[in-house]
Amino acid sequence: MKLERHTPGRVSLGIKLKRVVWNLTSALLFRPFITPVFRKWRLLLLRMFGAEVEWDANVYASVKVWAPWMLRLGHRACLGPEVICYNQDLVVLEDDAIVSQYSYLCTAGHDIDHANTADSGLITAPIVLRRGAWIGSRAFIGMGVEIGENAVVGATASVYKNVEPWTVVGGNPAKFLKKRIIKENK
C-alpha cells in the first residue's frame, strides 16, 4: 500500500451527502448503543456504509468515524473509547491492532508550503497499523504513517513518521525508546 500524500481535490457532492446520512445514522443508531451487547450492531452499521470490518473487531460507541467507507479492521482490531478516526483517506488496522482511548488518527491536512494556507489544498495519506500494533491513550497518528507489526506508541505521543516493527516510541514528536520484547507468562 502506498502511503504517500496526495491531493484528492474537492470533496464531491456525493461524498458530502453520504457523510450527512452517515452522521445522522451515527447520531441516532450508532453512538446511543453503548454496551458490548451492541458491538455487532455497530459493526453492521459500519459495514452498511462500506467499512471492511471483521465480526470479531471492536469499535466503541463513542468513536467518531469520518468516513466508514475508508475504514478496514482486521480480526480483534479495536478502536477504543472516544477515538477520533478522521479518515478522509484509508485507515487500516490489521489483526490485533489496538487504538486506545482518546487517540486521534488523522489522514488529512493542508499543504503548508503555500503562502496563504487558507487557499492551500487538502492533502491526504493513509494510516496503517500493522498486526499487533498498539496505540496508547491520547496519541496522535498523522497522515501517511505506518505503525509496524507489534510496535507500541506510548500514551500522549505524536507520531509523524513511520514506526519500525517491534519498537516502542513516545514523546512529541515520537522518538525511539526501546525494542519491544514480549516475555512469556510463567
- How confident is the model over 48-85, as pLDDT tens digits? 999 999 999 999 999 999 999 999 999 999 999 999 99
Q: 6 forms bridges with which residues in the sheet?
A: 124
What pLDDT, in 10s, does the model give residues 103-120? Answer: 999 999 987 776 665 556
| Interval 157-168 mean pLDDT | 98
Candidates 6, 75, 110, 114; catalytic one: 110
Long-range contacts, 80-85 (Cβ 8 Å, 24+): none
Q: Where are the beta strands (DSSP E) in 34-137?
A: 52-53, 58-59, 64-65, 71-73, 78-79, 84-86, 91-93, 98-99, 104-106, 108-110, 122-124, 127-129, 134-135
Q: State residue 3's pLDDT score.
A: 75
pTM over 0.75: yes
Ramachandran bin of 19, using left for φ above 0, alpha for ψ from -120 to 50, beta for the remaining angles? alpha
Catalytic site includes residue 110: yes
β-pair type (152-153, 167-170): parallel
How far apart (Å, rounded) are the C-alpha atoms in residues 127 and 107? 6
Percent of the chain predicted with pLDDT > 70: 94
- C-beta of residue 90 within 8 angstroms of C-beta of residue 70: yes
